[in-house]
Chains A and B, each alone.
Chain A
Amino acid sequence: MAVGLEHFLILSAVLFAIGLYGVLAKRNAVVILMSIEIMLTAVNITMVAFSRYSHVISGQVFVIFIMVVAAAEAAVGLALIIAIYRSRKTVDAEKFDLMKW
C-alpha cells in the first residue's frame, strides 16, 4: 500500500495524542512544555501534508508562522518556569497555586 495523505494525517494524530497525554498527565512543567511542542509539531505535519496533496502552498506559509509562535512560546514559557523555580524552588505543576483560590 502506497503512502498517501491518510498516513500522514494518522501519524500526526498519533503524535498529537501523545502530546495531549503528556500535557494532562505530567507534573514537571518542563515536560509539559515539551509535550506542547510535540502537539505543535503534529499540527505542522498535518499542514504540510494537506499543502502537498492539494497543491496549495499557503499550508507551508502557515507552518512558518506556527514555528514563530512555537519559538516565542518556548522562550516565554521556559522563562516563566525558571522565574517560578527561583521563588518557589519547584517546577511541579501541581504545586503552582499562586493564582488559585
Chain B
Amino acid sequence: MMGLDIAFWVLAVVSVGAALAVVLMRDIFRAALFLVLCFFTVAGIYITLSADFLAGAQVLIYVGAIGVLIIFAIMLTRESRRGSPSGRLRLPALLIGLLFLVTMVFVVVSTDWHVIAELPTEPTTTAIAQALFSGEDGFVLAFEIAAALLLAAIIGAIVLVREK
C-alpha cells in the first residue's frame, strides 16, 4: 500500500500545481498544455483508486479529444499575444474560491464517513458494463440519451462554426 500512497501524493501535488498554472499562466497556450498535464495526472489518480476503465477513458476523452479541441480553439482565436488577463472580479473570485475550499475541507474532515475497509482490486470494466446494461436498475435509457446528446452537440458545433 506504501507505493500507492506515494503515487497519490506525487499525482495530487502535480495535478494541483498544473491546475494552478492553468489559471495563473499569462500565456494561454502554455495554460492549455498544463491543462493536459492536469488531465493526465487525474487519470493516474483514477488508477490509484483502482478505476482502470475510467483512467483509460480519461486519457482518451480529456487528453485526446478535449485537449486537442482546446488547443485548436486557441490557435483559431489567435488571442495568445494578449495573454490571459484577470477581470474586475479577481478579488471576489479569490474570496469565493477560498470560502468554498475552507467549507469543503471542514465538511470532509468533520464528517464520519462510512468507509468499507480493505477491498480487493479487480478489473472494473465488466462491473461497469453490467451496471450500465443490466435490465432491472440499469442505465440503458440514459445511455441512449447520451448518444443522442453527443449527436446533437456535434451537429450544433458544425452549424455554429460553418462559414456562411
Contact = CB atoms under 8 A, between A and B. Distances in A.
A81 B73 contact: yes
B28 A28 contact: yes
Chain B binding surface SS class: helix
A75 B44 CA distance: 25
Nearest to A29: B77
Interface in A52-97: 52-55, 57-58, 60-61, 63-65, 67-76, 78-83, 85, 90-91, 93-94
Interface in B68-117: 69-70, 72-74, 76-77, 79, 82-90, 92-94, 96-98, 100-101, 104-105, 108-109, 113-116
Contacts of B35: 34, 37-38
Interface residues of B, number: 86
Contacts of A44: 42, 54, 58
B58 to A, nearest CB: 8
A30 B70 contact: yes
Contact of A26 (B69, B87, B101, B142): B87
Contacts of A34: 22, 31-32, 35, 70
Interface residues of A, number: 71
A79 B61 CA distance: 18
Interface string B46-68: 10111101100110011001100
A37 B32 CA distance: 11
Interface of B: 1, 4-5, 8-9, 12, 15-16, 19-20, 22-23, 28, 31-32, 35, 38-39, 42, 45-46, 48-51, 53-54, 57-58, 61-62, 65-66, 69-70, 72-74, 76-77, 79, 82-90, 92-94, 96-98, 100-101, 104-105, 108-109, 113-116, 119, 124, 127-128, 130-132, 139, 142, 146, 149-150, 152-154, 156-158, 160-161
Interface of A: 2-11, 13-28, 30-31, 33-35, 37-38, 41, 44-45, 48-49, 51-55, 57-58, 60-61, 63-65, 67-76, 78-83, 85, 90-91, 93-94
> Which 10 A-B residue pairs are closest in the complex by CB-CB distance?
A24-B93, A72-B153, A13-B104, A22-B23, A25-B93, A21-B97, A79-B157, A79-B160, A17-B101, A78-B73
